[in-house]
Structure 1
Amino acid sequence: MGSSLQEERRQRLLVRTTEPEGLAEYTGDGSVDFRGYPILKHNTGNWRACSLILGTEVCERLAYYGISKSLVTYLSKRLHEGNVSAARNFTTWQGTCYLTPLIGATLADSYWGKYRTIAVFSAIYFLVVVAAIHKRKADLPVESSLLYELDGKTSAIEGSRKLEHSSEFSFLDKAAVILWDECDGSPNPWRLYTVTQVEELKILMRMFPIWATGIVFFTVCAQNSSMFIEQGMALDNQIGSFKIPPATLSSLDVISIVVWVPIYERFVVPVARRFTGNERGFSELQRIGVGLFVSTTAVAVAALVEIKRLQIASAEDLIHQKVPVPMSILWQAPQYLLVGVGEVFTSIGQAEFFYNQSPDAMRSLCSAFALVTVSLGSYLSSFILALVSYFTTRNGQLGWIPDNLNEGHLDRFFWLISGLSSLNLLVFIYYAQQYKCKRASVV
C-alpha cells in the first residue's frame, strides 16, 4: 500500500516536471494535500474551501465572544468579585487567549506550511547581530554593492525575495562585509550573511515601534468588554418593556464594524484617493493612525458619560447606594460605536501592514505577532487596573473604582487611558513618519 502511494506521488511529480501542458492542472504554488501530493486546481480552493473556513471561524468566534462578553458579569454577579478584580481577571484571560496564536503560527510555518525554516531563521537573525559584533572593527565599503550577496535572483532564504540595501542600522551591514580570509572557498554561514538576511533583521527592527503602539490601542479595546460593561451595570438598562443586559451593548462594536467596512470601501476610499493619490485611499500606516485617534476619542467619550452619570447620582442622592442611576444605558452607544470604527481602521491596517512589510518567509509569524498586541494590550489593562487600585486606595480611601461605582471616579480611569492613548498616538506619528517601506526584488 505504501509503495503504491509513493509511486502515485512520484508520477504526479513527474507530470509536473516533464509535461508543461500538465503543469496548468496543478496549483503551482507548492501547495500539497494531506498526503503530500501536488494539488489539482479543480480539487481545491473556491467556495468549498471558504465554507469550511467560514464555518470554523463562526464556531470559534461564537465560543470566544459567548464567554468574553459575559465573563465580567459572571465574575461580579455570580462569583461576587469586586469591580477591579473582575476587570483584571477578564483582561488577563483575554490576553492569554491572544497569546496562543504564536504557538499555532510557529507550528504552521515551521512544520505544516511552506516555510519550514522559519523557526530556525528567526534565531539566525539574531546570530545577523553576532556576526556584526564580531566584525565591529571592520570598515564598511563605500559602495553597498561590495557587501556580500548571492548572484542572480535566488535568495539565501528559502521562500524570500532579495531585498535592496538600506542605509538604516548601518552597523548591521558589517555582518555582510567580506573579510580577506572569506574571499576564498565557501563562506562561513555563521560569520558572513547576505544583504537580504541583514535587511530582514532591519525590517523587524523598523516594524517594532509600529508594533508596540498597537499594545495601547488594544488596551482601549479591552475596556469594551471590561470597564465599559461595569459602567453599563451602573446605568438604567430599562428600555420600554425590555431590559438590556449591559454585555449585549458591546454588539454595537460588531455592528459598527459591519456597517463601516462597506462605507469605508464605497465612500471613504474614493474621497481619500483624491487627496492622497494612494490607490487604496490611505496607506496602512495612515489607517492605523486614524484608528488610534478614533479609539482615543472613544475612551474620552466614556469619561464624559461617566461624569454625567456621577452628576446624576449626586443630584439624586445615590452616591452611597449601590444602585443604577436613572440614566439610560444607551448613552454608552457612541463609545462602543467609536471603538468599532477604530478597529476598522487600525486592525485591518495593522494586518495589511504586518503582512506586506514583513519578510516574505515570516509573514505568518509576523501576523501572529500582530495578534500578540491584543494579548499585551489586555495584560497592560490588567496592570493599569492593579496600579490604579493600589495607588488610589491607600490611607483607607475608596479609590477610583470601588465596588459601588457611585462612590468612585471611573471617569478618572478613563481619562488616564485616554491620556496614555494620546501619548501613544504621538509616538506612532513620529515613527510612522520615519518608517521606510521594504524594497524587494521582482521575481
Structure 2
Amino acid sequence: MNGSRNGVLIEEEEEKRLYTEDGSVDLRGQPVLRSNTGRWTACSFMVVYEVFERMAYHGISSYLFIYLTTKLHQGTVTSANNVTNWLGTNWMITVLGAYVADALLGRYWTFLIGSAIYFLGMSLLTLSVSIDPLKPSSCSDSTDVHCQPTTLQLVVFFAALYILSLGNGGAKPNISTIGADQFDEFDPREKAQKLSFFNWWMFSIFLGSLFATTVLVYIQDNVGWTLGYGIPTIGIAISILIFFAGTPFYRHKRPMGSPFTKMIKVIVSSIIKWKVEIPTDPKELFEFDPIEYRKGKYMIDSTTGMRFLNKACLRTNSSKPWLLCSVTQVEETKQMLRMIPILVVTFIPSTLYAQYTTLFVKQSTTLNLHIGSFEVPPASIVGFISLSMLITVVFYDRIFVKTIRKWTKNPRGITLLQRMGIGMILHITVMAIASLIERYRIHVARENGVVENGNQVPLSLFILLPQFILFGMSDAFLNVAKVEFFYDQAPESMKSLGTSYWMISLGAGNFLSSLLLTIVSNVTSVEGHDGWIRNNLNDSHLDYYYALLAILSAVNFVLFLAVARFYVYRAEVSDSMKVLAEELMVRKMRGEE
C-alpha cells in the first residue's frame, strides 16, 4: 500500500518537474513545459535582436555629435548638451515602459509596441537626412545664413530622435528582463545558468556597438548619411522579425499590478498610522493567506529594516481597508527603497559615459586620423571601448569568476557591489589619464602654433587609446554589475522597474553631464576669461574639466563605499552554488581542471 502511494507521489513530482515552477506561462496564460521553452534557446533570439538594435542605436549616438557640429552647425557645448539630453531622455523614459509592462500589458507586448515605435523613429530619421527639403544644406560655412538648417529640418530631425526615444522606452527595459525570465529561479541548474546571462547580454550589446562604431561610422563619414542611417533602420526591422520568430520558445510572466501604486500605498499607510505601535510579534502583522499567493507570486517574510513601514501591515479601527497592506507588499517596497542610495551613487559614474560620445569624439577630430593613406572616421575610436569590453567580459566570465569563486565561495566570484566598486576605481583612472593626455595634446598644439587657428595637432589619433580601452574595461565591471544588481535585487513582481533603475542611472548621468558642462562653461568664461570648453579645443582646457570629473568620481567612490557597507542583499544563490560545486567536482574527476 505504501509502495503504491510512494509511486503515485513520485509520478506526481516528476509530472510537476515537467513544467516551470516560477509561474511562467505562454501567451495564452497556460503553464509552459520546461523542456520546450526558455533557457539559452529562447535567449538566443533576444541576443540577436540586441546586436541589431544596439548597432542601430550606437550608429546614431556615436556620430550624432559630429552630425550636429558639421551638418547643423551647432557649437561644442550646444551639441554636447543636445546629445546628452537626448541620451538622458532615452534612458529616463524607460520608467514609463517598465510601468506599462508591470502594470498593464506585460513585458512581451510592451516590448513589441515599443519596437514598432522605435522603427518609426528610425525611418523618419533616415528620411530627415536623405530627402529635400528635410535634409540640411551640404555647405560647410557655419557663418553663412544659407548654410544654417531651416526650422522644418530641425523639427523633423529632433522629432525623429525623440520618437525613437519613446520606442526605446518600451523596448529597452523589457528585452533584458524577458531574457532573464527565461531561467526558472526554482530550478538550481537554470538558476546557475542565469548568473552568466547578463555578462553575455552585455557582450551582445557591445558587439552591436563595435559594428556601429567601425563600419557604420565609416559609411556615414565616407559614403553618406542616407546609407549610414538606412542600414540600421533595416537592421531594426530584421531584429523585430527575429524576436517575433522566437515567440513559441518564450516564457512569460503575468503583469502583477502597478509597482508605483503598491509602493505609494505602503508609504501613505505607514505615514497615516505613524502613531500606532508596532507589535514585537511579527505574526500580528497582516498577511494574505498563503493559498492566495498564486504560482509565480512570492511571499516575503517580515524584516526589521525600515521598521516604520511595517505600520502599513497593522489593522486599526479607523483605517480604511485600502490602507491595509500585506507583509509581502511592505517588503517589496522596502527592497525597492533599499536600492535607491545605490542608484544615487551611480549617477556620477554614468555622467562619465556621456564624455565618450561627445568630448572624447571632439578630441579625436583635432588629431591625425590617417593610417597610411586610410583616413579613420573620428568616432571609430569609440569602437575600442566595445572591443575592450568584449575581451574583458569573456575573461571575467570564463577565467576570473571560475578562479576567484574557489576562494570566495560566491557563485558570481565576487559580489555585485564589489564588481561595481572595481568599475568605479577604473573610472577614476580613466579620467585622470584622459586629463594628462589632453594636457599633452594642448602642449603639442602650442608648440606647433595651431592654437589660434584650431588646425590639426600633429599627433596620432591613437594617443587616446588608453582612455578608451580603460573605459571598456570599466564597463565590463560597472555597467554589467549595475544591470544585474538592479534586476537581481528587485522583488519578483517589480523586475521591469528594477531594471529601469539601471536606465534611470544612465539617464540621470546624461542630464547631469549637460548641467555640469553648462555650469563649467559659464563659470569659467565670466569676466572676460577664456572658458574651459570652447568650439576650438586647441584653445580650451578640457584637461581641467577631465580632472574635475576625476575628483568628483573619487568623492563619489567614497560615498559608494559608505552606502555599500550598509546594504543588505535580498537573497543568496545557495542552490546555484551547489550546482556549480558539483560541476567543478565532475570536471576535476575528468581531469579538466
Same fold (TM over 0.5): yes
1:6-65: CA deviation from partner (whole Å, max 9, x where unpaired): xxxxxxxxxxxxx99877766565545445555556764467644532332232112111
Match of 1:308 in 2: 440
Q: How does 1:290-439 map to 2 (within 5 A)?
A: 290-438=422-570
1:367-422: CA deviation from partner (whole Å, max 9, x where unpaired): 02211211111111111111112111222333011111111101111111111111
Match of 1:92 in 2: 85
* Number of matched pairs: 417
- Cα 1:118/1:340, change in 2 over 3 Å: farther
Q: Given the alignment, which residue of 71, 94, 100 partners 1:101?
A: 94
Residue ranges of structure 1 left out of the alignment (5+ in a row): 1-18
Q: What's the Cα RMSD here? A: 2.7
- Cα 1:45/1:413, change in 2 over 3 Å: same
Match of 1:138 in 2: 276
CA distance in 1, matches of 2:273, 2:29: 43
- Cα 1:167/1:221, change in 2 over 3 Å: same
Q: Given the alignment, which residue of 304, 307, 329 partners 1:170?
A: 307
Shift of 1:207: 0.4
CA distance in 2, matches of 1:200, 1:30: 18
> After the TM superposition, which parts of structure 1 deviate over 6 Å for at least 4 consecutive aligned residues?
19-25
Residue ranges of structure 2 left out of the alignment (5+ in a row): 1-11, 107-252, 575-593
- Counterpart of 1:140, as a letter, is I
SS of the equivalent of 2:412 reads coil
Q: Given the alignment, which residue of 222, 231, 235 partners 2:367?
A: 235
1:253-304: CA deviation from partner (whole Å, max 9, x where unpaired): 1101110111112332244335534232110111111111111211221111
CA distance in 2, matches of 1:160, 1:394: 58
CA distance in 1, matches of 2:89, 2:83: 10
1:246 matches 2:378? yes
Match of 1:10 in 2: none
1:324-382: CA deviation from partner (whole Å, max 9, x where unpaired): 21121111111111111111111111122112211110011210221121111111111
- Counterpart of 2:397, as a letter, is E
8 Å CA contact 1:173–1:198 kept in 2: the answer is yes
Which shows bigger deviation, 50-59 or 356-365? 50-59
- Cα 1:31/1:166, change in 2 over 3 Å: closer
Q: Given the alignment, which residue of 204, 208, 213 partners 2:340?
A: 208
- Counterpart of 1:136, as a letter, is W
- Counterpart of 1:98, as a letter, is W
Match of 2:177 in 1: none
8 Å CA contact 1:26–1:39 kept in 2: the answer is yes
SS of the equivalent of 1:190 reads helix
Shift of 1:228: 0.6
1:54 matches 2:47? yes
SS of the equivalent of 2:453 reads coil
- Counterpart of 2:301, as a letter, is E
8 Å CA contact 1:162–1:440 kept in 2: the answer is no
8 Å CA contact 2:290–2:299 kept in 1: the answer is no
TM-score by length of 2: 0.65
Shift of 1:115: 3.9
CA distance in 2, matches of 1:261, 1:432: 23
- Cα 1:170/1:32, change in 2 over 3 Å: closer
CA distance in 1, matches of 2:267, 2:25: 36
- Counterpart of 2:280, as a letter, is V
- Counterpart of 1:166, as a letter, is T
8 Å CA contact 1:154–1:162 kept in 2: the answer is no
CA distance in 2, matches of 1:232, 1:222: 15
8 Å CA contact 1:307–1:411 kept in 2: the answer is yes
